Amino acid sequence: MFLKKEKEDALKKKMLSLNIQEKDLVEKFILGSGRGGQKIQKTHSCVYLKHKPTGIAVKCQKERSRAMNRYFARKELTSKIEEKLFKEKSEKQKKIYKIKKQKKRRSKKAKLKMIEEKRKISQKKALRKKPSANED
């Protein structure tokens, strides 16, 4: 799988806008590990990138090809630097926060309030029922 020219150009523009230059990056290729069999364990497809001025380091091994991993590592590095510069939460952090919030247990007060609301709704529904014929 090869990169499209548009994606490469977009990444280069983003790097230029954040003032990230290739000479400021330390790039190393590490022996791959994990799933993928003999091919992964023999080749140096894992990419390690470090931005010297900020000290931010990224390690990427999403794909089997070195070229794709280089792209993904640079993309991740730019997002981390952007996050540090603009102090914004990245999309990834927003998703993580959302999941944590969903999994968090309700407080006792919130749980009691929710149960009370459910009880009120069930009472309303009970009043909507038609009266039965054998009630005397």
* Structural domain boundaries in the chain: 5-88, 93-126
Q: Does residue 73 carry a pLDDT above 70?
A: yes
Give residue 88's pLDDT: 66
pLDDT at 89: 66
- The answer, as to whether pTM is greater than 0.75, is no
Beta bridge partners of 56: 51
Residue 1: pLDDT band with limits 50, 70, 90: low
Helix and strand numbers (H, E) in the chain are 5, 3
What is the rounded CA–CA span in Å between residue 125 and residue 68? 58
**Residue corresponding to tokens 């006792």:** 108
CATH number of 5-88: 3.30.160.20
CB within 8 A of 56, min separation 6: which ones? 50, 77, 80, 81, 84
Q: Give the chain's mean pLDDT.
A: 85
Interval 73-80 mean pLDDT: 91
Cβ neighbours around 135 below 10 Å, total: 5
Whole-angstrom Cα distance, residue 86 to residue 77? 14
Helix %, strand %, coil % of the chain (to 5): 55, 10, 30
pLDDT digits (tens, 9 = 90+) for 45-57: 889 999 999 899 9
Does 136 score more than 60 pLDDT? no
